[in-house]
Structure 1
Amino acid sequence: MIKYWPNRQGIHLNLAVANLFVQTYQKFSYKLSNKTRICLPIDILDTYIKKQLFIDILIELEILILDLIELNLDIQNIKQLNNKILYDIVTKAMKNFLNELKYKSDYNLIYFYSSYNKLFFAEHKILIQDLLTYLIFGANAIDKTVFPFYKLKTPFNHVQLLLENAIIQIGNIITFNLIENFKSIQAISKFLILNNLCNYHQTSIRSISSFRNNLISYHFVNLYLYYPQNIYCCKYPIWLLSSNGIFYKYIYIDRSSEYIKLSKIQLCIILYLEIQDFIVPKINTLIIILGKFIVYILVEIIGKGFQLCFKSIIKRINQYQK
């Protein structure tokens, strides 16, 4: 039986939110290893540390919801302040995480000039806005054009996926900025060792350098290929927690308003996809037709050749018998 998310504010919504947070907290006891081929910043963290980071983020989200309810903000206020709300969650969770570490230093919490951070905050509406709307106002307050199902029949699992995705994505941005605070691989290794943030075999200069290179290379592939492609296809990758580890799946979401924010290079990728969708099927059809034509010609030539050979052989046999 499908369990649906409450449609409006009230005791049922409060109980659903409380139940959602409890279930999400229980999922932190699952395997938190990345089971995909995509390199994530949190992959460098030990499972216990990763769990503690997720707990800090979940607590901050819970505090945020209570604060927003107490302030009596409406949906328009949340939409206007959404970017700042996401920034506050990231910085507060990051500060709490840092307070638990042994290694103390001056941290620039968020590097806004980083393209990684820019891409993260560019998706702030998908990351946090719809999630807060569900948690505070209920499914009835969601724009009916955003998701491809009737909003008053929003599955409970849908909201759960949005929450898990927000936690994992915020965990990624926190871990990324922690690493970026250090100017050398040696400093990163020292930071990881002193705070027991990962297994010791992952703290070598070679392993950290390889991890960082993989992280950066995938980011640029995502920025200039997957990100514009997902916008073009109205898809969004959702990261989720399962008993086997961390996975992702694509959900449909209206992303038409994001076209105007794409760079010229990203728009060229979309143009390439358009050309590809137009040309490739025709090329495939042409190749199939040419292939059939070539096969027909070869069959005819080979068939005629065999016929001539057989006739020649039979003629010689007849002449020999005479």
Structure 2
Amino acid sequence: MSERSLKLLLIDDDPIFRIGLRTVCEQFPDLQVVAETAEGSEALRLLEERVKQETGRAVDQVDLVILELGSGLSAPAGMPGLTLCDRLNTQYPQVPVLVISAFSDLSVLTAVQRAGVKGFCPKGTATAELIAAIREVADGGTYWSDVKSLRSLVPRPSSAEVRMPAKSDARASRPLANLRRTLSLPGLRQIDATIENLTVQLQNPALSDLDRAVLQGRRRELRAARWLVNQVLAPNSLPPAPQPPSAYDWSEREDFSPQNSPEASGQTIELDPEAGRLQRQTTGSEMSFRALRSELFEATLAKLNSSLPNLTSVALEIDILRAEKKQELLSIILRQLEEVLDELRFSEVQADQLSEKQYAIVRDLWEKVTTEFFGKYYTLLLPVGEVEVVPVFLQEEAVVQNAILNKIPQVAEFIAHVLFQTPLKIDNVAYPAGSTEALLRAEALLHNLMIQVANAVIQPLLNYFPDVEEIKQSFYDRRWISTRSIEKFRNNLSWKYRLEKYFGEPTAIFESRYWLFLFTYRGIGKIPIYAPRREELMQLSGIPLAVTLVLESRDAVAPRLRSAVAFAGNGVVYVLTQVIGRGLGLIGRGIIQGIGSSWQESKFNKSSPRQNK
């Protein structure tokens, strides 16, 4: 190890973690944190300044960048972690990068390896291991921590196995250290679970500013408590153990190359938690398709366990359903969508054909879900006789398509991403399949597709049989069982579509965005995403076009009008305070002085006769 001090740059949007890591590094004389930041763009600027300062001396040279992979996700304009890794590797290849992150999925590790990262440690790593990783990567080596919490992304056929590297003998021979680690694990798990719960609650768009500030404060306190527990109970005096070749250290394997990488060869690495080993499976594109679909669908299914209240201000058709019926409908959609994806894959449809087939695909999905949810032979006994429900609903195909199904955004892009692992374009940046950004966007598109198809399934029910007692008893929430409440609900939906047609949709087109409904652990939320919609803007006419012109005029006039009003207001304030106010002050002062003089004269006149006597 070099005797000179290693200069470190910290990048993390969590100030508590930065403070903790800086405090740990200050305990070692060979480590020095020369800069820290929460933004990727600021980190690039700091590195550029230090490179310019290197002309005379190399005092400010950065030897290692320590990066949190989740940095930039909390800020709308932030640079995502993987993008920052690519930028650092491209612009400053001489500066190694060590990732310390809570993201520890195998796909994430593979992605950061491709981005040029030289080392990885999960958050919560013991101090001794973390310091050893920092020294190793800063001195030109690689370090990939032994991650034990990866969950399998694919099925487990029998295959060749690569065993996980065993823990160092030095650590195993320290019973006191093992006892401290055993004592810390339950508390750390509880803290992590609470932090995750708070993070989920913070995703609720209906939170007030006060509630959001309180939850963010609690999360910061828990992160600080977690760091403190690690410092007190985690073994921090262990000597750094020599690293055996890690299953994640692709750069030290003899078969590592772009052509032999797991993605290029169709091989997948998974962790068998029961056997404690990694498995390498030689598979084709089918396994990638199944892995990605399983990742998305399992994460979505986990969010369907709540009552899914509507947290937005927009009325939805599924709001009228009981919680269990809503969950049943959404689960059916998820299962039918899985079958549709299988059918598309077996039919060997090409990615460039999805754009013209997306409307037919969504329509077929709607028909299958409607038939399964209500039952193919479900019959209502009405005064006019028995009526088969599903055929009546399927007659509304054209209405449902025009009102809901054809307006679901980016269906073809989502299907192509799942079937063919095509990159998803987010804010004009293409993210590969398996990246954190692509997974989050694909999950949001999936949620929106499910919610809109569910609305399309319930809309014919509200149009044809809204006030039938059997329907109300079987499907409706108890808030909507009276005739008045049902009619109020239907009127709200009618007004929603009118306002959306004439105001909401033109505004979204003009602002180049779509609104997506998505599931959170507390209910259904709503988020905007950027999308180019220039062609739709050129096709607007009538009232929608007038709305965009009004918005454009407001954008052109409002800033100048505000400036003029502010200038006039400042002028009025100046006249009132400096001119009229001072004039009134002088007048008042003269009046007061006159009253004082008169009082003095009257007092003098009263005392004069007494003196004469």
TM-score by length of 1: 0.87
Residue 586 (structure 2) aligns with: 307
- Calculate percent identity across the aligned residue pairs: 22
Please report how far the alpha carbon of residue 127 of structure 1 lies from its aligned counterpart in structure 2 after TM superposition. Answer: 4.7
Residue 180 (structure 1) aligns with: 463
Give CA-to-partner distance per residue, 1:294-321, whole Å, 9 cap, x none.
Answer: 1111111121111122124324534664
1:118 correspondence with 2:402: yes
Letter matched to residue 444 of structure 2: L
Give the total of aligned pairs: 312
- Compare CA radii of gyration and give the structure with the larger one: 2
Residue 74 (structure 1) aligns with: 350
- Greater RCO (CA < 8 Å, at least 6 residues apart): 1
Please report how far the alpha carbon of residue 191 of structure 1 lies from its aligned counterpart in structure 2 after TM superposition. Answer: 4.6
Give CA-to-partner distance per residue, 1:72-96, whole Å, 9 cap, x none.
Answer: 1111211111111111111111111
Give CA-to-partner distance per residue, 1:179-229, whole Å, 9 cap, x none.
Answer: 1134xx5xx3335235x1023452211110011011111221122111111
Unaligned stretches of 5+ residues in structure 2: 1-100, 112-262, 265-284, 381-387, 602-613
Residue 290 (structure 2) aligns with: 14
Residue 487 (structure 2) aligns with: 209
Are the equivalent residues in 1 in contact too, given 2:318–2:458 (CA < 8 A)?
Answer: yes
1:128 correspondence with 2:411: yes
Give CA-to-partner distance per residue, 1:143-168, whole Å, 9 cap, x none.
Answer: x4x64433235431221111111101
Residue 163 (structure 1) aligns with: 446
1:107 correspondence with 2:107: no
Unaligned stretches of 5+ residues in structure 1: none
TM-score by length of 2: 0.48
SS at match of 1:150: strand
Residue 46 (structure 1) aligns with: 322
In the alignment, the residues of structure 1 paired with residue 359 and residue 497 of structure 2 have an alpha-carbon distance, to the nearest angstrom, of 21
SS at match of 1:39: coil
Letter matched to residue 535 of structure 2: S
In the alignment, the residues of structure 2 paired with residue 112 and residue 16 of structure 1 have an alpha-carbon distance, to the nearest angstrom, of 31
SS at match of 1:308: helix
Are the equivalent residues in 1 in contact too, given 2:307–2:324 (CA < 8 A)?
Answer: no
Give CA-to-partner distance per residue, 1:124-153, whole Å, 9 cap, x none.
Answer: 4x252111011101133x4x4x64433235
Are the equivalent residues in 1 in contact too, given 2:366–2:453 (CA < 8 A)?
Answer: yes
Give CA-to-partner distance per residue, 1:242-279, whole Å, 9 cap, x none.
Answer: 11111111122222232244342111111110011011
SS at match of 2:429: coil
Are the equivalent residues in 2 in contact too, given 1:31–1:243 (CA < 8 A)?
Answer: no
Letter matched to residue 573 of structure 2: V
Please report how far the alpha carbon of residue 291 of structure 1 lies from its aligned counterpart in structure 2 after TM superposition. Answer: 0.8
1:273 correspondence with 2:558: no
Residue 535 (structure 2) aligns with: 257
**RMSD between superposed Cα atoms in Å:** 2.5
2:471 to 185, 192, 197: 192
Are the equivalent residues in 1 in contact too, given 2:323–2:477 (CA < 8 A)?
Answer: no
Are the equivalent residues in 2 in contact too, given 1:192–1:203 (CA < 8 A)?
Answer: no
2:567 to 289, 298, 317: 289
In the alignment, the residues of structure 1 paired with residue 431 and residue 592 of structure 2 have an alpha-carbon distance, to the nearest angstrom, of 80
Please report how far the alpha carbon of residue 27 of structure 1 lies from its aligned counterpart in structure 2 after TM superposition. Answer: 1.8
The structure that is strand-richer by fraction is: 2
Residue 88 (structure 1) aligns with: 364
Please report how far the alpha carbon of residue 288 of structure 1 lies from its aligned counterpart in structure 2 after TM superposition. Answer: 0.8
Are the equivalent residues in 2 in contact too, given 1:147–1:254 (CA < 8 A)?
Answer: no
In the alignment, the residues of structure 2 paired with residue 274 and residue 122 of structure 1 have an alpha-carbon distance, to the nearest angstrom, of 27
In the alignment, the residues of structure 2 paired with residue 102 and residue 227 of structure 1 have an alpha-carbon distance, to the nearest angstrom, of 37
Are the equivalent residues in 2 in contact too, given 1:189–1:208 (CA < 8 A)?
Answer: no
Bigger drift between 298-307 and 257-266 goes to 257-266
The structure that is helix-richer by fraction is: 1
Letter matched to residue 457 of structure 2: I
1:55 to 331, 334, 354: 331
Letter matched to residue 38 of structure 1: V
Give CA-to-partner distance per residue, 1:49-77, whole Å, 9 cap, x none.
Answer: 11111111111111111111111111121
Are the equivalent residues in 2 in contact too, given 1:202–1:208 (CA < 8 A)?
Answer: yes
Letter matched to residue 118 of structure 1: N
